[in-house]
């Protein structure tokens, strides 16, 4: 009877310890980088950043882009990142919006991010909107972006889910 009980306990232990339901995918690797950009008439209120060579990108990857909110960061005592697209509303009908395009060239296996500033009146925007905007780009596999239970609009949630350090 002791042998049967021992065998039963050992079998139960093996069956429960082999469960791989930990929501962590060891082959999901995210890559990150930051860029600072200024938007003006000379660059048509758009600028492109080539993904650095040390950041490997595949054609099925997805870019998540965040902009640093300096006002909230100062108030909260730490970096606050807002997902793009990000719209700033001013007086009724007046706005500025940052958006991006993720571009992957299959011929060269190179990727870039095009940052775009749109507004109802681009020439009247203050320099706190147009100058020295800091963007954080996170490149993730499309399977993570489409199947993830993680809030992709929350950089801290993405950082935690993928064990990122920056």
**134 close to 36: Cβ distance less than 8 angstroms:** yes
Number of domains within the chain: 1
Confirm whether 10 is domain-assigned: no
pLDDT in tens, 9-52: 445 544 444 444 444 444 556 688 999 999 999 999 999 999 98
pLDDT in tens, 103-113: 988 888 889 99
What pTM does this model have?
Answer: 0.74
Q: What is the CATH number of the domain that holds 106?
A: 2.60.40
Confirm whether 21 is domain-assigned: no
- Close Cβ partners of 63 (under 8 Å, ≥ 6 residues apart): 100, 102, 111, 113, 137, 138, 139
Residue with tokens 């995918």: 25
pLDDT in tens, 103-149: 988 888 889 999 999 999 998 899 999 999 999 999 888 776 676 67
Domain residue limits at 149: 27-161
Confirm whether 112 is domain-assigned: yes
> Residue 59 and residue 52: Cα distance in Å, rounded?
15
> Residue 62 and residue 30: Cα distance in Å, rounded?
10
Confirm whether 46 is domain-assigned: yes
């Amino acid at each position: 009877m002791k042998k049967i009980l021992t065998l039963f306990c050992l079998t139960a232990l093996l069956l429960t310890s082999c469960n791989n339901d930990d929501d962590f995918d060891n082959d999901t690797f995210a890559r990150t980088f930051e860029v600072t950009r200024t938007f003006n008439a000379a660059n048509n209120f758009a600028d492109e950043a080539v993904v650095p060579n040390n950041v490997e990108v595949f054609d099925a990857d997805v870019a998540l882009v965040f902009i640093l909110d300096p006002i909230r960061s100062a108030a909260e005592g730490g970096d606050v990142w807002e997902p793009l697209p990000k719209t700033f509303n001013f007086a009724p009908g007046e706005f500025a919006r940052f958006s991006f395009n993720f571009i992957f060239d299959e011929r060269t296996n190179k990727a870039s991010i095009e940052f775009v500033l749109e507004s109802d009146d681009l020439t009247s925007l203050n320099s706190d909107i147009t100058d020295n905007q800091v963007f954080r780009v996170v490149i993730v596999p499309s399977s993570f972006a489409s199947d993830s239970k993680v809030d992709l609009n929350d950089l801290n949630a993405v950082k935690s889910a993928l064990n990122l350090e920056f």
